């Protein structure tokens, strides 16, 4: 075990620190103690500020009554930042309960009616400005989609023709969002199947938030990309918090967003999926 970690973590009786699966951004560990186990995230080469948005998101979840890990502490080791959380024991549960919980989260709105968050999005090798604005289109298109487009071009992953296709998609998104009345809901920000679980008592829980206040269709778009959400999830969500007309057409924008994030991060393997998502928007 790393002696520095043992000394800096706010825990007594640490018996072991075991690497576990924790996603593509952080190194993750189960911390065995004389009491309950804890969950440790480590981000090499970063300051404690790296976890500010995730901590704020988990605290917002707690305030909204959303089941999620609770923050124990955060800080810095010599080689990077750390975040210590309660450990969630996995079990099995209902997609209907998950749908109702996500709807409950989305019914938590930003009091001033504006979009954004107090901290930027930090995703390892890509970040986005979450500065407050009264325009969802500004936050989503100008500060996320356009940033992704430039990152993809800088990496040589798109040709000029593909960039021009994106600009046509951008025109469609801009026009359709101008006709849609968005409300700033509390969003998970990265709601794919790897970021929820069911606890040992059957309750659904969310973790690894990339929080912001935005249009709730953004989260639902993420759920459609990699599977893991059944018809029961969407039916229960709709019953709890019905979607506006045209939602499933707009949800394609957020599906494209997540695929472009993966193209920017992981390269060529996502080119075909991104191209198909753009064509789906243009061929409506």
Residues forming the active site: 190
Structure tokens at 145: 């989609």
CA–CA distances in Å: residue 89 to residues 37, 68, 198: 10, 11, 8
Residue 71 phi/psi, 5-degree rounding, is -80, 130
Residue pair 139/257 in contact (Cβ under 8 Å)? The answer is no
Tell me the chain's radius of gyration from C-alpha atoms.
19
Looking at the chain, which runs of residues are DSSP E strands?
Answer: 14-20, 27-33, 38-44, 71-77, 80-86, 121-122, 127-128, 185-187, 196-198, 204-206, 212-214
HSE of 90, CA atoms in CB hemisphere, 13 A: 6
Residue 226 phi/psi, 5-degree rounding, is -115, 10
The position carrying tokens 């920000």 is: 189
Exposure letters 181-191 (e unless 16+ CB within 10 A, then b): ebbbbbbbbbb
Report the length, in residues, of the chain: 284
């Amino acid at each position: 075990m790393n002696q520095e970690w043992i000394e800096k973590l706010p825990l007594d009786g640490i018996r072991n620190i075991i690497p576990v699966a924790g996603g593509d951004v952080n190194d993750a560990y189960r911390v065995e103690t004389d009491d309950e186990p804890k969950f440790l995230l480590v981000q090499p080469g970063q300051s404690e500020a790296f976890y500010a948005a995730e901590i704020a998101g988990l605290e917002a979840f707690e305030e909204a009554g959303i089941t999620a890990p609770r923050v124990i502490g955060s800080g810095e080791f010599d080689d990077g930042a750390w975040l210590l959380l309660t450990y969630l024991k996995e079990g099995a549960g209902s997609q209907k309960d998950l749908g109702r919980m996500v709807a409950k989260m989305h019914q938590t709105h930003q009091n001033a009616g504006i979009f954004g968050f107090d901290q930027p999005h930090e995703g390892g090798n890509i970040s986005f400005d979450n500065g407050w604005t009264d325009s969802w289109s500004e936050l989503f298109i100008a500060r996320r989609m356009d940033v992704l487009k430039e990152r993809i071009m800088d990496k040589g992953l798109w040709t000029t023709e593909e960039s021009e296709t994106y600009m046509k998609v951008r025109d469609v998104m801009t026009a359709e969002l101008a006709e849609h009345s968005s409300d700033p809901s509390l969003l998970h920000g990265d709601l794919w199947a790897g970021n929820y679980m069911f606890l040992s008592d059957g309750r659904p829980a969310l973790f690894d938030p990339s929080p912001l206040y935005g249009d709730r269709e953004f989260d639902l778009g993420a759920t459609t990309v990699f599977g893991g959400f059944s018809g029961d999830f969407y039916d229960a969500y709709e019953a709890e918090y019905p979607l506006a007309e045209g939602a499933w057409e707009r949800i394609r924008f957020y599906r494209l967003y997540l695929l472009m994030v993966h193209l920017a991060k992981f390269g060529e393997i996502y080119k075909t999926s991104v191209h198909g998502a753009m064509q789906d928007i243009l061929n409506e």
